[in-house]
Chains A and B, each alone.
Chain A
Amino acid sequence: MSFEPEPSVVALVDAIRRGGADEAIAEDLAGFFRARGVSDEDIAVLAEAGASRVLVYRSLVHNRLRNAIRDFVPRTIARLGNDRFRADFARFIDERAAVSYYLRDVPEEFVAWIAPQWRSDPDVPAYLPDLATHELLQLTVRNAPGGGEPATGNPVALDRPLRFDGSVRLMTYAHAVHKLSSDKDDRTPPPAEPTHLLVYRDEAHKVRYLELTAFAAAALRHLIDDAQPVATALQAAAADLGAPLDDERLGAAALLLADLAERKVMLGAT
């Protein structure tokens, strides 16, 4: 079933979303709404209420969404600065806006949209996209619909893929943002070092972080993302690093899988 929106509805959405709409409405409310096809009769009703009433909706929407983002990436916003955040958010709602039905998804939508722009902006610290992603992990892993699945009951075999807990995420950062203080006022930059993390939700629903070597990260990526059999995944991981799959790496892989099994992150062979 589809319907056409009334001009006043389209204009209200523009009043909320469009950059500079607040100034335009404050300056010439009638002109703003007339330009969007709203009838003189309807404009009279809006004018009677006044620009400040119309703009209450802009404030309510912006405040609600900005607060949702700030709640989930507080250290990122603190380091970015409030003025820059407000400007970035204003462009987000103008150019893209949220598309998820769930308010808790808005921070992730914002970060996914803004991170590429931050990466190419010399005024933004290079580590900030990593920090935002890392802060969001707490939210996404805590709420991940998967997780807590039972063990398969099948022992690990070299020729079989493995099953992992549904909450698991593998992350790679260019900066060790996981080492930063949780203090929102701290401005120490993180070391610029490649960082690999496995993140999961444990049985008590706490989000846990494991730092991985480059080999472990590559192996797990082939095991989890590509669902490759164990032997294939380990060979592919060694090849990724241009290194041999020697006894040392095989031993490390065995220890890693045993540790993940104990944590109930690796659930056995499929």
Chain B
Amino acid sequence: MATGEPDFDAVPTGIGLGLRARFLGKVADGEAVGKVAFLELSPENFMHRGGRNPAALQRCAEHHRIITHGLMMSLGGTDPFDDEYFATLREFTDRYDTPWHSDHACFSGLDGALLHDLLPVPFTSAAARRMAARLMEARDRLQRPMAVENISWYVGMGAGRGHGALDEPEFLTEVLERADAGMLLDVNNVFVNARNHGFDPKEWIAKIPLERVWQLHVAGHELWDESLIVDTHGADVRDEVYALLEWTLAQTGPKPVLLERDSNIPPLPTLLQEVAQLDEVYQRAIATHAAAADGKARHVV
């Protein structure tokens, strides 16, 4: 049975970049060396794939640490896990020796039909127990620690007022504690949900067991209509999200932080500039965290 926690000494901290096909070749050629702390990639974009990509990915892995982040595990789903998918994923995560594998707190399909999106689950204790059981099964199948990411959700799936109902931080905390898993805290998703559903994002984050946060994500979002913003990963990170990230990192201390971009992808040099800008925020936050820790230590002495 795999352990719940990764070897944190071997985990890169700082700002990483989501590896996308559009700039895979340039990263393979070393254009991001010294500019990103790690690369994150979605195995589904590379599994069962030949041609140019496998060799390019191998060269990327020679330059950078890899963290894997899946799209289709459907941790909140009810269909049984697919043996072939997991066998291929295990082979992939072993090859790149990711410190953990993460996927989303959502479901992606039902009765064998796969919808290729991150669909919300009811925030109930029953759904939390189910997700925790599936996280543990995934960890056992992959023989690797598992982390789960909070998603952007646009409508509550009911039970919001009913028996066994939880709020989202309570739901995620129950999942994390039951599964002894890590959390991939997507700061942009917290911001998007806070805007769409009218809550304070800092209060939300303060309710999460921060000692279980292994990694953070930031991305851009876009307006769907006057009352809704959607997590598209298709725009620059907004100032409010930078501020929320800085506040969060000041609580957590050094972590791997990923810049995600999935559409309207700019050229690699532009993305690397955004990584550098994000790193300034990161360094400020880590200094704040260190100063706070130092202050606490002096207070104890």
Report which A residues bind B (CB closer than 8 A).
1-6, 8-10, 12-13, 16-17, 38-39, 41-46, 49, 52-54, 56-57, 60-61, 64-65, 68, 96-103, 106, 142-148, 166-167, 201, 205
Q: Which of B2-61 contact A (CB under 8 A)?
A: 44, 47-53
B161 contacts A205, C-beta separation under 8 Å: no
A13 contacts B50, C-beta separation under 8 Å: no
- Chain A CB within 8 A of B292 CB: no
Q: Mark B92-124, 1 if CB is under 8 A from A, else 0.
A: 000000000000000101101111110111101
Q: Which of B75-98 contact A (CB under 8 A)?
A: 77-78, 80-82, 85
Tell me, rounded to whole Å, the shortest Cβ–Cβ distance linking A66 to chain B.
Answer: 11
B112 contacts A99, C-beta separation under 8 Å: yes
Among B82, B113, B134, B228: residue with most chain A CB under 10 A: B113
> Which residues of the other chain, A, contact B81 by a CB distance below 8 angstroms?
1
Q: List 30 A-B contacts (CB under 8 A).
A: A1-B133, A1-B137, A2-B78, A6-B121, A6-B124, A8-B157, A9-B157, A17-B113, A38-B158, A39-B158, A43-B158, A49-B154, A56-B154, A56-B230, A57-B154, A57-B155, A60-B117, A60-B230, A65-B115, A65-B116, A97-B109, A98-B113, A101-B44, A101-B72, A102-B44, A102-B47, A143-B53, A144-B50, A148-B50, A201-B50
Q: Which of these, B78, B112, B117, B158, contacts A45 with CB under 8 Å?
A: B158
Residue of A with least CB distance to B117: A61
Q: Which of these, A53, A142, A201, contacts B228 with CB under 8 Å?
A: A53
Cα(A60)–Cα(B78), bound, Å: 21
B50 contacts A143, C-beta separation under 8 Å: yes
Tell me, rounded to whole Å, the shortest Cβ–Cβ distance linking A141 to chain B.
Answer: 8
Tell me, rounded to whole Å, the shortest Cβ–Cβ distance linking A11 to chain B.
Answer: 9
Tell me, rounded to whole Å, the shortest Cβ–Cβ distance linking A22 to chain B.
Answer: 14
> Which residues of the other chain, B, contact A205 by a CB distance below 8 angstroms?
51-52
A41 contacts B158, C-beta separation under 8 Å: yes
B159 contacts A41, C-beta separation under 8 Å: yes
Residue of A with least CB distance to B76: A9
- Chain A CB within 8 A of B239 CB: no
A103 contacts B113, C-beta separation under 8 Å: no
Tell me, rounded to whole Å, the shortest Cβ–Cβ distance linking A170 to chain B.
Answer: 18
Cα(A100)–Cα(B33), bound, Å: 34
A97 contacts B114, C-beta separation under 8 Å: yes
- Chain A CB within 8 A of B162 CB: yes
A5 contacts B78, C-beta separation under 8 Å: yes
B48 contacts A42, C-beta separation under 8 Å: no
Residue of B with least CB distance to A105: B48
Q: Which of these, B50, B113, B224, contacts A99 with CB under 8 Å?
A: B113
A49 contacts B78, C-beta separation under 8 Å: no
Cα(A16)–Cα(B44), bound, Å: 23
Quick one: given A56-B224, A144-B50, are A106 and B116 in contact (CB under 8 Å)?
yes
- Chain A CB within 8 A of B156 CB: yes
Quick one: given A42-B159, A53-B155, are A146 and B114 in contact (CB under 8 Å)?
no
Among A3, A60, A142: residue with most chain B CB under 10 A: A3
- Chain A CB within 8 A of B185 CB: no
A100 contacts B114, C-beta separation under 8 Å: yes
Known A6-B157, A99-B114, A103-B116; 9 more pairs at CB < 8 Å? A6-B127, A49-B155, A52-B225, A56-B154, A98-B113, A101-B85, A102-B47, A144-B50, A147-B51
Tell me, rounded to whole Å, the shortest Cβ–Cβ distance linking B194 to chain A.
Answer: 15
A61 contacts B228, C-beta separation under 8 Å: no
**Size band of the interface chain B makes with A:** 35 or more
Cα(A64)–Cα(B195), bound, Å: 24
A201 contacts B51, C-beta separation under 8 Å: yes
Q: Which of these, A1, A13, A45, contacts B160 with CB under 8 Å?
A: A45
Cα(A166)–Cα(B49), bound, Å: 12
A147 contacts B50, C-beta separation under 8 Å: yes
B116 contacts A13, C-beta separation under 8 Å: no
> Which residues of the other chain, A, contact B49 by a CB distance below 8 angstroms?
143, 145
Quick one: given A1-B134, A45-B160, A54-B155, are A145 and B48 in contact (CB under 8 Å)?
yes
B80 contacts A1, C-beta separation under 8 Å: yes
Cα(A189)–Cα(B109), bound, Å: 39
Cα(A68)–Cα(B48), bound, Å: 18
Quick one: given A102-B44, A142-B51, A143-B51, are A53 and B154 in contact (CB under 8 Å)?
yes
- Chain A CB within 8 A of B130 CB: yes
B115 contacts A98, C-beta separation under 8 Å: yes
> Which residues of the other chain, B, contact A5 by a CB distance below 8 angstroms?
77-78, 110
> Which residues of the other chain, B, contact A43 by a CB distance below 8 angstroms?
158
Tell me, rounded to whole Å, the shortest Cβ–Cβ distance linking B199 to chain A.
Answer: 14
Cα(A8)–Cα(B53), bound, Å: 40
Q: Which of these, A9, A97, A144, contacts B51 with CB under 8 Å?
A: A144
Tell me, rounded to whole Å, the shortest Cβ–Cβ distance linking B138 to chain A.
Answer: 11
Among A13, A54, A68: residue with most chain B CB under 10 A: A13
Cα(A5)–Cα(B44), bound, Å: 25
> Which residues of the other chain, B, contact A61 by a CB distance below 8 angstroms?
115-117
Residue of A with least CB distance to B113: A97
6 tightest Cβ-Cβ pairs between the two chains A and B: A42-B158, A97-B113, A8-B158, A3-B78, A205-B52, A145-B50
> Which residues of the other chain, A, contact B154 by a CB distance below 8 angstroms?
49, 53, 56-57
Cα(A3)–Cα(B111), bound, Å: 11
